[in-house]
């Protein structure tokens, strides 16, 4: 199959091109499309055959349900029950990077929702996505457009890298604004299921209380040294082994200097512009030659860090370094989601001093 690439203007989507993509959805084809969070790989949520293909090309476990994208509250209410007490706040919030787990009306393909009696429903705040769903006239089941375990696609180029000639259409509307997936809230427990682009602080403001935050939503797991993490925990991960620094920030340049002094291995440092500069200044000229600096953005601007995170992790693999070190970020606002992704991307390999870093370097 040859993938059709459609460039669509994100502010003024061209109707003819939207119609081509919508027709493909209705015909049971796979369409990669932009949202405000990350790119999604979409299919008609009523079409089991099409949804099965999503799992196949992503290499995704069939017991892991897809998010169902809608373009109106009416469409959401056709497929799921919105609790009366939350209807107004949801109406006010959507479209937004926030997904709600709702009780299912059981009319969608069982493949799309992995046979559960709940559905994850979201109305994306992106003109192209909304027009596409609206024009297709059906809810679109769409996980993030990445091969399972790999970082999510935030640009059409990433989706092309993953799915060239494996999907029917890829829409290119430029980089996704948020760069990190939607926040998932289970409304029955009022609990955070996945930290995401919509901060829990904002959720608390809209709902009048803080959602319950589970360890699972934070991506926590006991830190321990392991050659490779259990694959069931692997997610958002580049192929390059990633080590997450969890100690005091001011110590990081010294820790890196001490642990890599004698080593000739090339590695990458992924982090804020500020920390890249500090490390560059601390290391000797010879040491600097072994480091590839990959800047995520300004440390004070967590939105910028989130926007660039997956793009830089995908880029990291093209540098062919033997490992990478990434810095930690404050867990406020979108920082909670950034840290969730970094914990998982690192396979829970954390270190806070030179000794621990050296121990990892013997293993990877
Ligand atoms: O921002 C996003 O949410 C992107 C864009 C494309 O909309 N989509 C996305 O989908 O991140 P995906 O498949 O990568 O992540 C969906 C998550 C999975 O962890 C899945 O297990 C969970 O949502 N999920 C789906 N249905 C669920 C349900 N009924 N109950 C609990 N979790 C559910
Ligand atoms: Mg995903």
Q: Name the pTM for this structure.
A: 0.96
Any ligand 1 atom below 6 A from CB of 36 = no
Q: Is 99 in the pocket of ligand 1 (CB under 6 A)?
A: yes
Q: What is the pLDDT of residues 23-63, one digit of tens each?
A: 999 999 999 999 999 999 999 999 999 999 999 999 999 99
The ligand with the least distance to the CA atom of 95 is 1
What's the rounded mean pLDDT across residues 231-236? 65
Q: Which whole number is the average pLDDT over 206-216?
A: 92
Neighbours of ion ligand 2 (CB under 5 A): 144
pLDDT above 70: residue 228: no
Q: Of all protein residues, whose CA lies closest to atom 29 belonging to ligand 1?
A: 119
Whether 231 shows a pLDDT value over 70: the answer reads: no
| C-beta 356 within 6 A of ligand 1 | no
Confidence band for 223, pLDDT divided at 50, 70 and 90: very low
Q: Which residue has tokens 């904002």?
A: 202
Sign for the CA dihedral angle at 95, 98, 104, 109 comes to positive
Encode pLDDT of 1-11 as tens digits. Answer: 999 999 999 99
| pLDDT tens by residue, 159-176 | 999 999 999 999 999 999
Residue 235, classed as helix, strand or coil, is coil
- Is the separation of the CB atoms in 81 and 136 below 8 Å? no
CB of 146 closer than 6 angstroms to any ligand 1 atom: no
Q: What is the DSSP letter of 153?
A: P
Task: State if residue 144 touches ligand 1 by the CB under 6 angstroms criterion.
Answer: yes
pLDDT of 214 reads: 82
The beta strands (E) that lie in 12-168 are given as 31-33, 40-44, 68-69, 80-81, 98-104, 118-122, 140-141
Answer whether 142 contacts ligand 1 (Cβ < 6 A): yes
- What secondary structure does DSSP assign to 154-186, as a single string? -SHHHHHHHHTTTSSEEEE-SS-SS-SPPEEEE
- Counting atoms of ligand 1 from 1, which one is nearest the CA of 120? 26
pLDDT at residue 224, as a whole number: 43
- Among protein residues, the one with the nearest Cα to ligand 1's atom 3 is 182
Query: Which ligand 1 atom lies nearest to the CA of residue 145?
Result: 6
């Amino acid at each position: 199959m040859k993938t059709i690439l459609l460039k669509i203007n994100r502010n003024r989507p061209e109707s003819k091109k939207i119609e081509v993509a919508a027709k493909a959805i209705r015909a049971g084809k796979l369409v990669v499309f932009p949202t405000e969070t990350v790119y999604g790989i979409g299919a008609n949520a009523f079409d089991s055959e099409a949804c099965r293909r999503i799992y196949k090309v992503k290499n995704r476990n069939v017991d892991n349900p897809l998010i169902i994208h809608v373009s109106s509250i009416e469409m959401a209410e056709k497929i799921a029950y919105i609790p009366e007490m939350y209807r107004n706040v949801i109406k006010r919030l959507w479209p937004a990077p926030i997904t709600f787990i709702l009780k299912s009306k059981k009319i969608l393909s069982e493949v799309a929702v992995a046979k559960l009696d709940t559905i994850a429903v979201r109305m994306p705040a992106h003109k192209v996505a909304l027009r596409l769903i609206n024009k297709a006239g059906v809810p679109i089941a769409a996980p993030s457009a990445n091969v399972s375990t790999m970082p999510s696609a935030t640009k059409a180029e990433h989706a092309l890298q993953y799915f060239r000639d494996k999907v029917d259409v890829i829409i290119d509307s430029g980089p996704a604004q948020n760069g990190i997936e939607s926040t998932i809230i289970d409304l029955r427990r009022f609990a955070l299921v996945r930290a995401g682009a919509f901060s829990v602080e904002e959720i608390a403001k809209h709902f009048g209380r803080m959602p319950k935050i589970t360890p699972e939503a934070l991506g926590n797991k006991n830190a321990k040294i392991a050659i490779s993490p259990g694959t069931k925990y692997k997610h958002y991960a580049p192929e390059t082994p990633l080590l997450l620094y969890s100690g005091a920030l001011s110590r990081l340049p010294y820790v890196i200097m001490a642990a890599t002094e004698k080593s000739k291995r090339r590695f990458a440092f992924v982090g804020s512009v500020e920390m890249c500069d500090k490390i560059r200044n601390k290391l000797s000229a010879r040491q600097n030659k072994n480091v590839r600096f990959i800047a995520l953005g300004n440390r004070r601007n967590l939105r910028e860090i989130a926007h660039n995170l997956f793009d830089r992790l995908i880029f990291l693999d093209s540098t062919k370094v033997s490992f990478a070190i990434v810095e930690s970020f404050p867990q406020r606002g979108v920082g909670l989601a950034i840290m969730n992704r970094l914990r998982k991307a690192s396979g829970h390999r954390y270190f806070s001093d030179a000794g621990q870093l050296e121990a990892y370097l013997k293993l990877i």
